[in-house]
Amino acid sequence: MDRPLVSRMALVALTAGLLAAVPAGAQKLDAASDDPQTVLFIGNSFTYGAHSPVWKYRDTTVDDLNDDHVGGVPALFKLFTQEAGLHYTVSLETSGGKNLEWHWDNKRSLVDRPWDHVVMQDYSTLDPQHPGNPQKTITYSGWFAKMFRAKNPKVDVSLTATWSRPDQTYVPGGAWYGKPITQMALDVRHGYDLAAQASPDIDRVNPVGQAFNCAMAAGVADPDPYDGISYGKVDLWAWDHYHASRFGYYLEALTDFIGITGYDPRRFGKTETAADELGISPDDAVRLQYIAWAETHGQDCKTVLSGMPAS
């Protein structure tokens, strides 16, 4: 059974809902007076935005604990909070090609401190040696969550379930070869759900892979980058058909942002700054904002765009 979008942070969600009912300017004024919330992202290239302009994006706005000058999804999150008038300080600990086991063995002491929010992302296939096997994800996410809870009993801990990889789906030899492009994301999400169910210290799963599926179902994204990208659709993946593109990382950041803050990113609309700086058209930015909101709120992906304002 899926965890609710917000559990331990029910008060935060309630506050966000109340704030959404007041003018944006009032929300910014109120939020700016609050003490900053601290956020830590742990992950690999799927968090730091490899093979896209997101990788080094606004790296001076976040604290890269490894001093790799990474901006990535955390920097997108930081900008979203600023645009929403929310006060967050954002840190990250990332390393390419690594799983949570590696972070536990090599970086645990670096992140073992109090945080208000922690977002963890494991390897794209869950287990590099045994694709689809969630056991290591269950073990190490649980150990990390328990450690963070010991430092701050009120910490909000979430897991980011990542996307289907076309190179694992369309290419012979891939672990999901011959299956629908949506299946890998569902299998990965199932593994993260098992991890969340196994640990009382994990609050929710951020459904990024399912947001990718939603974008394809809604006709916003092309499901097969190997045969070209259809007119009017975006490519969620980078040139390697493995990592995300700027569109994919933007969708990832929106989904994480909703889970942590409860803020409705549809309020950003066509003038959202990150989209403009990354070369995402205003219309595509709005579509992705709607997709992220739909997936995190159980709305039908095929009809979600019907509520969009006219171009």
Q: Which residue type sits at 93?
A: E
- The better pLDDT of the pair 222, 23 is held by 222
Q: Which two tokens stand for residue 227?
A: 């045969």
Residue 100 has pLDDT above 90, yes or no: yes
Q: Could you tell me which CATH number the domain at 10-307 has?
A: 3.40.50.1110
257 neighbors 77 (Cβ within 8 angstroms): yes
pLDDT, greater one: 11 or 195: 195
Domains of the chain: which residue ranges? 10-307
The angle at the Cα of 98, spanning 97 to 100, to the nearest 5 degrees, equals 150
Provide the terminal-to-terminal Cα distance of the chain, rounded to the nearest Å.
38
Q: What is the pLDDT of residue 24?
A: 35
CA–CA gap between residue 48 and residue 36 (Å, rounded): 23
Mean predicted lDDT score pLDDT of the chain: 91
Could you write out the DSSP letters of every residue in the chain?
Answer: -PPPS-STTHHHHHHHHHHHTS-HHHHHHHHHTSPPEEEEEEESHHHHTTTSTTTTTTGGGSEETT-S---HHHHHHHHHHHHTT--EEEEEEE-TT--HHHHHHHHHHHH-S--SEEEE--BTTBSSSSTT--HHHHHHHHHHHHHHHHH-TT-EEEEE--PPPHHHHTSTT-TTTTS-TTHHHHHHHHHHHHHHHH-TT--EEE-HHHHHHHHHHTTSB-S-GGG-PPTT-B--B-TTSSSB-HHHHHHHHHHHHHHHH---GGGTGGG-HHHHHHT--HHHHHHHHHHHHHHHTT--TTTGGGGSPP-
Q: For residue 57, what are the CA distances in angstroms to 48, 105, 270? A: 9, 28, 20
C-alpha 180/C-alpha 188 separation (Å) is 14
pLDDT tens readout for residues 158-185: 999 999 999 999 999 999 999 999 999 9
Q: Given this model, what pLDDT does residue 309 score?
A: 75
Q: CA dist 187 to 5, 152, 179, 212, Å?
A: 19, 31, 11, 14
Of the chain, the percentage scoring pLDDT greater than 70 comes to 88
In tens, the pLDDT along 267-290 reads 999 999 999 999 999 999 999 999
Q: Report the candidate in 64, 2, 11, 16 with the shortest Cα–Cα distance to residue 206.
A: 2
| pLDDT bucket at 308, cuts 50 / 70 / 90 | confident
Instruction: For residue range 127-155, list pLDDT tens digits in order.
Output: 999 999 999 999 999 999 999 999 999 99
Q: Are 89 and 36 spatial neighbours (Cβ–Cβ below 8 Å)?
A: yes
State the average pLDDT over residues 116-128: 98
pLDDT digits (tens, 9 = 90+) for 39-93: 999 999 999 999 999 999 999 999 999 999 999 999 999 999 999 999 999 999 9
Confidence at residue 26, expressed as pLDDT on a 0 to 100 scale: 32
This prediction has a pTM of 0.89
**What's the whole-number mean pLDDT along residues 199-219?**
98
> b/e for 267-292, b at 16 or more Cβ within 10 A?
ebeeebebbeebebeeebbbbbbbbb
Q: What is the pLDDT of residue 305?
A: 83
